[in-house]
Amino acid sequence: MTGLATEWSWTGAVLGIVLLAGLSLIVAGLPARRRPTLDDRLEPYLRDTPRPSSLLASAAPARGPFGFGELLAPYVARVGSVIERVLGGAPSVVRRQLRAGRAADVERFRAEQVLWGTLGGLAGLVTTGLVAVSRQRLSVPVLVLTTLICVGLGVVLRDNALSVSARRREVRMLNEFPTIAELLALAVSAGEGATGALERVCRLSHGELSGELRRCLADARAGANLPTALQGLADRTGLMSLSRFVDGIVVAVARVTVSTITEIPCSKQTTRAARRLPLRSSESVACVHASETKQALVV
């Protein structure tokens, strides 16, 4: 008799998993595994302000049901650090996060990759188990190999999802670019300065590009000068046309020739044409406008 009942016992598998989980928790809770790190030991001596009373501290948000988030957070961080050492590419992750309009947080992204990989591994494990039940036969090497492949696919899919999110946001910004440039030219033609024109455009428009301009104005109000804030916009985006456009405005503001900003391009015909063209063609048209803007501003 070579059926599944003689080769595989689901009760034994569940008991083995529970036993392994219990032993893992016992080992993780040993005093040798809970030694304070160097940061924990140095933190009391490097703190600028005294620690406030715990009675005044607000309650931390719940991290998962039944406290599982708090329990698994250190292990997720460790696995994320392993993924970082194996895959690397932290600067690329930061650039894509900024292009996607998110805060630069590599550790959070690695934790999300761990979660996606875990879900992929569970999906592979369930799929292999269902196939084994249907065929009344189970191959442990196939089970392990399929689970590992699904884990790798989950990690790669999270990385690909970030790239797709960044590209989609760039497409939206590129579609908004001709309208924003035209509104900016109209505002400056009406007598507004560079900062006033940007504020007026931000009040009248909504979208990804206008949100980036609001961030530039917020940085300028926080103490940074306007050229530095605009240069941050060019560094965060991956669009060459927008970078050239920002460079033209930076040159105009640096030379204090706000009146020359009236030469900002994007006529009605070319603006409508840029909207009808695909991404690459639209970006090439916008690059031409940006180069013309820069020449007009420098003159």
The answer to whether residues 181 and 264 touch, using CB atoms and an 8 Å cutoff, is: yes
The reported pLDDT for the residue numbered 165 is 92
Q: Is the dihedral of CA 75, 164, 178, 240 positive or negative?
A: positive
User: Quick check: helix, strand or coil at residue 224?
Assistant: coil
The reported pLDDT for the residue numbered 161 is 94
Q: Where are the alpha helices (DSSP H) in the chain?
A: 4-7, 10-28, 38-46, 68-87, 90-99, 106-135, 140-189, 194-204, 208-221, 226-236, 240-254, 268-276, 279-298
The reported pLDDT for the residue numbered 82 is 84
The reported pLDDT for the residue numbered 2 is 44
Instruction: Measure the CA–CA gap between 294 and 288, rounded to whole angstroms.
Output: 10
Instruction: Measure the CA–CA gap between 146 and 113, rounded to whole angstroms.
Output: 18
Q: What are the domain boundaries of the chain?
A: 168-298
Helix and strand element counts for the chain (H, E): 13, 0
The answer to whether residues 34 and 42 touch, using CB atoms and an 8 Å cutoff, is: no
The reported pLDDT for the residue numbered 162 is 92
The whole-number mean pLDDT for each consecutive block of 10 residues of the chain, a chain of 299 residues, reads 52 81 78 74 71 60 58 77 84 88 87 91 87 78 88 93 91 86 82 81 85 86 81 79 78 56 46 49 50 44
Q: Is the dihedral of CA 269, 274, 275, 277 positive or negative?
A: positive
The reported pLDDT for the residue numbered 254 is 64
pTM of this prediction exceeds 0.95: no
Instruction: Measure the CA–CA gap between 224 and 285, rounded to whole angstroms.
Output: 31
Instruction: Measure the CA–CA gap between 108 and 212, rounded to whole angstroms.
Output: 23
Instruction: Measure the CA–CA gap between 211 and 214, rounded to whole angstroms.
Output: 5
The reported pLDDT for the residue numbered 1 is 41
DSSP label of 4: H
Q: How many CA atoms lie within 13 A of 114 on its CB side?
A: 19
Long-range pairs of 129-135 with CB within 8 A, sequence gap ≥ 24: 132/4, 132/8, 133/4
The answer to whether residues 265 and 184 touch, using CB atoms and an 8 Å cutoff, is: no
Instruction: Measure the CA–CA gap between 120 and 152, rounded to whole angstroms.
Output: 8
Instruction: Measure the CA–CA gap between 99 and 111, rounded to whole angstroms.
Output: 20
| Structure tokens that stand for 190 in this block | 């009406």
The answer to whether residues 266 and 289 touch, using CB atoms and an 8 Å cutoff, is: yes
